[in-house]
Copies of this chain bind each other. A is one copy, B any other.
Amino acid sequence: FVLFLVAESHFYKLFYKLLMSKATPTHGLVKDPDLPVTADGVTYHLNCKSDQLADRILLVGDPGRVDTVAAYFDAGSVRFRSENREIFIATGTYKGTPVSVLSTGMGTDNVEIVINEIHVLKEYDFERSAWRPRAGDANVPAGVKVFDPSSVKMIRVGTCGSPYPDMPLAALAVTRHVIGMDNTCLYYKVKEEMQKSKDLQEVQRVVKEQTSLGAIDVYATKAHPAITNGIVAACKTFNGNLPAGAKEQLYVVGATATASGFYACQGRAVGRFREHLLAPKLVEELSKVQFDVSEGKEIVANIEMETSAVCFLSHLLGYQAGSMCVVVAKRAGAEHLFTTSEQSGQGLKNAIQIALEAIVALQ
């Protein structure tokens, strides 16, 4: 009897998985170890074909959140699902517009994998066995459509800690500039325009001079302004549409610091590691810096583990990407707090709805 009840509660999900599993080819033969893609066009980590991934993508960290996001898609619209390692994907529509949600797992190294494979899925033409041409390329073959990189739009929806003393718990930190404290993107040479950007130089200079990260080769990047502005507009609409008396979703636009770990890499001292921390005062230092950028004064809104690679690699490819994270840990100010699961749950629900509205509204 117990068995029956357990099984029943999973009936729908299992049946669904069985149906969907047919749409998900698993690793076939890979020929080139430098570009591991199967003969039928499935990438190595994403386990997905070109036509199974939408141009508008929400990136979450936690594979468990892919289902949470897909629950907001139009009823019955999910046409593709896959699961491989920590990378889960669901593709459907939101208010009629095709959208995918994809979990990166934690860290910039995972994001590097995801953005490279999205690049393959969007721009490699498996029929012609050639990369799709873009406007401005030399020798575009006759009859072949050019690819517009700005059609790829991505918003990361994650969780984070905050060094900003006035940050409300469970507020959204919306990324403008990014401090790359990881080194994933150092393996990519920057574009000349990025090297010359006064704003990015300012971010790098201030971090180098005013924190203990002098010994780290910190890089700077930026969310695509259309994404940052789109998220802010969606936050305003979300709050404007709330029923009377409902609690507004607070948000703060600022810089995001991306770390290559969660503990010492974010200034957290654990047990015997305490004496080995390179930057034990990192949070306090980041709570004080201010960047003097084109948009005005910018504070560090949050610390997390993925945004630098999302924004940097997208920018190199001409894709539009940005990031918004629910603050689950307040690490500076009068009180240091962690959200209850109710608080972070509500923040994430709001964040998902705002992100979906933002991504389908983008031109």
Contacts and interface: CB of A to CB of B under 8 A. Distances in A.
Interface residues of A, number: 86
A31 B336 CA distance: 8
A184 B108 contact: no
Number of copies: 2
A30 interface: yes
A217 B186 CA distance: 10
Given A30-B338, A109-B305, A340-B29, A123 B271 contact: yes
B131 A106 contact: no
B271 A337 contact: no
Contacts of A2: 15
A337 B29 CA distance: 11
Contacts of A89: none
B10 A264 contact: no
A226 interface: no
A332 to B, nearest CB: 10
B113 A106 contact: yes
Contacts of A330: 33
A85 B112 contact: no
Interface in A116-134: 116, 119-120, 123-124, 131
Contact of A11 (B7, B36, B277, B309): B7
Contacts of A269: 34
A334 interface: no
A272 B131 CA distance: 9
A33 B316 contact: no
A316 B106 contact: no
11 contacts: A6-B11, A29-B340, A36-B329, A106-B113, A108-B261, A109-B260, A109-B262, A112-B265, A119-B270, A119-B272, A272-B317
